Amino acid sequence: MDLLNTLVDKGLRRELPTREEALAVLATSDDDLLDVVTAAGKVRRHWFGRRVKLNYLVNLKSGLCPEDCSYCSQRLGSTAGILKYTWLKPDEASQAAAAGLAGGAKRVCLVASGRGPTDRDVDRVSDTIKAIKDQNEGVEVCACLGLLSDGQAERLREAGADAYNHNLNTSEGTYAEITTTHTYADRVDTVQKAHAAGLSACSGLIAGMGESDEDLVDVVYSLRELDPDSVPVNFLIPFEGTPLAKEWNLTPQRCLRILAMVRFVCPDVEVRIAGGREVHLRTMQPLALHLANSIFLGDYLTSEGQAGKADLEMIADAGFEVEGAGEVTLPEHRVTAGGGCGSQAGAGCGSHDEGAGCGSSPESAGCGSHEGGGVCGTAPAAPAGEPRTDLVAVRRRGAGTDLAPNA
C-alpha cells in the first residue's frame, strides 16, 4: 500500500505526515489492519528496538476532585464506588512503589486527584519523591498533580522529579464538551511549565469519548507541536456513575489503528498504552506492542488492571523484552537535544486517569490514563460488539488499602 510505504519513510526521517495521511490510517479497513500494524511496527523498532518500558502508578490521593472531567470516576458528582482517601504518607507511597519496581517497572508515576497542587502539596510530594529515591537507586519518578502554578514545576524538579504528566485528552475544538471547570489552554500551559523547568514532559490523549477521526488527529498533531517525550494513549473505560458511562465506542481494531496513527505522527517519542488496554484491546494486546514501546504494569488509579505476571508473560511471548533500568528510553537525538532528563528521559507518565489532577485521564493509569479495567476473566464474553462491562473492576487493593498491590 503506497500510503503505508510513505508513512514508514516519513517515520524513519521523523517527518510529519500530512493530516490526510493520518486520517487515512484511521480509515483503513480491517482487511488491511495487519499491514498497518506491520508498517507502524517498522517505525517503532527503528527508534526503540524490541524494548518495552514498564511504568507503575501510585495513587497518592484518591477521589473527591472538584473538577468535572466527564471521563473521570473521581470527578465532581461521580457516583462511582471507587476508593476515597487523602494523601498517603511518604513511607506508604514508597512501599507501594517498591511493589511495582520489584515487578520490573523502571518508572513510578505519582498521581493525586484535584485541580492542582497547593504549595503544601508540593512539599508532600517532594518528601515522597525523596523517600522513593532514597530506597530505590536509579528509579525514575514522574508526578501527575494537575494544573501547575508558577514555580511549582521547578520545585518538583529540585526535589528529584524526572518528569511531569498532564494530558491534553482531546482536541481543542471539543474540549469544552468534556470539561468545563478548566480549559484546554490551561492544560497546554502546564505542559509548557514542565518543559521550561527541565522536566521530561508527558502528555497524551483519551480515545473513545465520542470524538471524530478529525478530533483524534487534531489532538495528536497538537501533541507533536508540544513535543513531549512521552505520549500516553488512553482508551476510555465508561465507568458507571460518570457522564460517559454509555460511551462504548471502541473495538480492538479501532484501538490498533489509533496507536498506529500516533506512532506515525510521533515516531521517536515514547508511546505508552495506558488505561483501558485490557478492556478494549483484550486478546489483541500483544499486537499493540508492535506500535507502542511502553505500558503500565498492574493496576491503575481506581480500577484493576491485568495481573503483573500476565503482563510480563505477554511481553516475552510476543518476542519483546522489558527495558532495563540502565537503558535510555529515548533515541539519542532527543536526549542530547535536552528533550528529556538525561539518562532517564523519556519516561512520562501516562494514563488518563481521572485522578490525575485536573486533567489526566480517568482512572486508568494515572499520571495520565484511563481506567484499566480489571480484567477479571470470570464472566462469559459478551457477544461481538456488545459493551464489555464485565472487564471493568474497581480497584480494591494496593495504595489506600490493607491488601497487597497487583504488580
Active site residues: 65, 69, 72, 109, 142, 202, 272
Residue 202 assigned ligand-binding role: yes
Residue 109 assigned ligand-binding role: yes
Distance CA 84, CA 62 (A): 5
Residue 272 assigned ligand-binding role: yes
Distance CA 168, CA 103 (A): 29
Residue 115 assigned ligand-binding role: no
What DSSP designation does 31 have? G
Query: 33: part of which helix (H) or strand (E)?
Result: helix 33-48
The answer to whether residues 298 and 56 touch, using CB atoms and an 8 Å cutoff, is yes
Name 152's Cβ contacts closer than 8 Å, sequence gap at least 6: 117, 119, 122, 193
Cell 508540544 -> residue? 226
User: Half-sphere exposure of 257 toward its Cβ, with a 13 Å CA cutoff?
Assistant: 22
Distance CA 60, CA 356 (A): 10
Residue 142 assigned ligand-binding role: yes
Distance CA 140, CA 133 (A): 8
Q: Which residues sit in the known binding site?
A: 65, 69, 72, 109, 142, 202, 272
Q: Which residues sit in the known binding site for [4Fe-4S] cluster?
A: 65, 69, 72
Q: Which residues sit in the known binding site for [2Fe-2S] cluster?
A: 109, 142, 202, 272
